[in-house]
Amino acid sequence: MEIKQNVNLSQISYYGIGGKAKIVIDVSSEQDIKDALGYINANKLAPVYILGLGCNLLLPDENLEGVVLHIKSDSGSLTKEGTSITAFAGVKMSDLIEFSFKNGLAGLAWAGGLPSTVGGAVRGNAGCFGSEIKDNIRLVRYIDLSDSNLKIQTMDQTQCQFGYRESYFKRNPALLIVSATFNLQNAGLIEMQRQKEIYQKNIDYRQSHHPLEYPSCGSVFKNINQLDQVQKVMQVWPDIEALVKGKWYGKISMAYIIGRLGFSGYMIGGAQVSKKHNNYISNVGNAKAADVKAIIKAIQDKFSETFNFTPDPEVQILSVG
């Protein structure tokens, strides 16, 4: 583990946004986590913030007191047993997938291009191209930071209570994911080749459809997926029925709504609603968290004025005070 002081969070978060943290502890193994938690307890540091790659986090402009536990990549923390792979929480999804391919195991190609640590993906049940992390999870090991004995506990897939960008861990922020075990399938040479092609196709799709040239946090809002909310939007815009039933599989794309409400390219300070993908707010130049939050509020206000309910952000907004 490495303990750092007075760290500029904009330099370590994917979004390039954030004030300074008084203390950041980098951990890249299970032992590091135990050592770090021992140090945190001994020095009575609080609150504890958990950071993966920061791809789904809007950190505050204000400085953070307490401590940031930065769960970093260690591609060495990957083990295979039969058709299962266990990965330390800080392992990048791309390293996990590469390891699965090397071991002739299929099942994760859907996550091609998903910027994430394993811990971040499990907590938010990350998903794309019709699959979600819950489809592969067998076990998750975690520590309850609110419990003084800091024992590692285990949950199976059902206990994780996964939903659309939801999990038991997300609803219980004191739970620190330490590792996850994935159920995969043995694949022969031809099937492995097919899996690699799907993986690459998904990366290519992101490169051509998402504004990867700027830092962002991915999709800012969850798509509209609850039946009553889908109906409310369709009452105002009945012409989208065919899209809902076809292309959007019963949901409504927030990128579409944001565009149709007139926000494509909308800019405050250094933050801009991407013209390439309207559900992304890009950091186009020294954006502040306040800029991003002001855009989110403007969209939410217009949205609720139009449809009479407020859309849920997908991005995790960290506030202080």
Ligand X SMILES: Cc1cc2nc3c(=O)[nH]c(=O)nc-3n(C[C@H](O)[C@H](O)[C@H](O)COP(=O)(O)OP(=O)(O)OC[C@H]3O[C@@H](n4cnc5c(N)ncnc54)[C@H](O)[C@@H]3O)c2cc1C
Using CB under 6 A as the criterion, which residues of the chain lie in contact with ligand X when the complex forms?
14, 50-57, 71, 89, 114-117, 119-121, 123-124, 126-128, 169, 176-177, 210, 212, 216-218, 316
The CB-of-319 to ligand X minimum distance in angstroms stands at: 12
Residue 269 Cβ, how far from ligand X at the closest point, in Å?
19
Q: Which is nearer to ligand X, 85 or 192 (CB)?
A: 85
| Cβ closest to ligand X, residue 83 vs residue 202 | 202
Cβ proximity to ligand X, 130 vs 238, nearer residue: 130
CA dihedral (81, 85, 90, 94) in degrees, to 10, reads 140
What's the closest the beta carbon of residue 238 comes to ligand X, in angstroms?
29
Helix runs in 15-79, H state only: 30-42
Comparing CB distances to ligand X, the nearer of 88 and 266 is 88
CB atoms within 10 A of CB 134: 19
**Looking at beta carbons only, is 264 or 306 nearer to ligand X?**
264
Smallest gap from Cβ 265 to ligand X, in A, equals 18
Angle at 116 between CA 115 and CA 120, to 5 degrees: 150
* Cα 201 to Cα 128: distance, rounded to the nearest angstrom: 13
As measured in angstroms, the least distance from the Cβ of 207 to ligand X is 10
CB of 51 or CB of 254, closer to ligand X: 51
Neighbours of 194 (CB within 10 A): 13
**Shortest CB 272 distance to ligand X, Å:** 15
CA distances from 41 to 23, 109, 177, 226, 270 (A): 14, 40, 18, 42, 38
Contact 174, 145 (CB under 8 A): yes
Closest CA to 123 of 101, 140, 147, 103: 140
For ligand X, which is the closer residue by CB, 107 or 124? Answer: 124
Q: Which is nearer to ligand X, 199 or 307 (CB)?
A: 199
Q: Single out the residue of 320, 263, 321, 252 nearest to residue 294, CA to CA.
A: 263
Please state, in angstroms and rounded to a whole number, the distance separating the CA atoms of residues 54 and 45: 21
Question: At its nearest, how many Å lie between ligand X and the CB of residue 52?
Answer: 2
Within 30-162, strands assigned E span 48-51, 57-58, 67-71, 78-81, 84-88, 105-106, 127-128, 131-132, 137-144, 152-156
* Angle of CA points 138, 142, 148, to nearest 5°: 155
Provide the 10 A C-beta neighbour count for residue 97: 23
**Nearest distance, CB of residue 46 and ligand X, angstroms:** 15
DSSP letter (8 states) at residue 92: B
- CB 283, min distance to ligand X, A: 10
- For residue 315, give every residue at least 6 positions away whose Cβ sits within 8 Å of its Cβ, in sequence order, or none: 56, 57, 58, 217, 218, 219, 220
| Identity of the residue, 60 or 120, whose beta carbon is nearer to ligand X in the bound complex | 120
